[in-house]
Structure 1
């Protein structure tokens, strides 16, 4: 493979060797991060675990489960230095493509009520809010609601 192609960002399956980089991004971006064990368990369970990689550096990731014709996006994150460049949307669209390939009829996700940028992205792609989970997420000084969003595939 040419050096030029190796420097192109790619989306690929997450493997255990990626976990140090994934957990580092998780801790950088979230106040209440998933643990290494959460990611390891997701890989071991056969969930769809993807990373964004360029030149050997991981700068984004996501995890999705599929069952009973439903896809659930469990987490998706982009490193702070790579945010606002369209990578979150590219990764989300890959998960949507996989969900359709696996014959899921709907895709669900939870987003923090305060995460306006993510909610706008999801809405732009076609997700609609269908519910609210009270006190779903841990937050500084208490709990925060989750907006439950759905995309009909």
Structure 2
């Protein structure tokens, strides 16, 4: 009973996450980073459908994630178009739930930028580490994560069952500077 109450209380007493919008310069372009809202669910779903042949989430999942006070989704866009988004869960640990960059913007440092913004945000809390899973076959993403201080922890067999792929669980320390 105590465990159920403790879980309920931790959920209801959690202050919703707030991100102050940022305007950054990346490769000579201005990019706005802002917190995604429920009104962005269809946009996030559209992005994932352009990134993945088999989209991992349903539209309803995005609505649920964006309504969850323990989740933070950031959307990156230039004055001319949307770039992508990143999501993070703040429950028992800080955990990246999603990173998607539109295909025509990949391999240009946008994923690095979004991930660094999220790492900086996570350092405002008392979480000792930031974790994520990455597809075993996604070498480019693994390289990005290693560059940002993530280390492989363990292999997760058949983590993505719809596409029969394994994942690598990775972690990096979060230190306040």
Shared fold by TM > 0.5? Answer: yes
TM range (shorter): 0.7 to 0.9
Per the alignment, residue 67 of structure 2 pairs with 44
Larger radius of gyration: 2
Question: What do residues 51-72 of structure 1 show as CA deviations (whole Å, max 9, x unaligned)?
Answer: 001226322001101123x211
With normalisation by structure 1, the TM-score equals 0.88
Superposed displacement of residue 139, structure 1 = 4.8
Superposed displacement of residue 102, structure 1 = 1.8
* Structure 1 stretches lacking a partner, 5+ long: none
RMSD: 1.7
* Structure 2 stretches lacking a partner, 5+ long: 1-24
Structure 1 stretches of at least 4 aligned residues deviating more than 6 Å after TM superposition: none
With normalisation by structure 2, the TM-score equals 0.77
Matched, 1:24 2:46: yes
Bigger strand share: 1
- Of structures 1 and 2, the one scoring higher in RCO (CA 8 A, sep 6+) is 1
CA contact (8 A) 2:83 2:110 kept: no
Residues paired across the two proteins, number: 145
CA–CA distance in structure 2, aligned partners of residues 121 and 96 of structure 1: 13
Output aligned runs, 1:3-152, within 5 Å. Answer: 8-33=30-55, 34-46=57-69, 47-55=71-79, 57-68=81-92, 70-140=93-163, 143-152=164-173
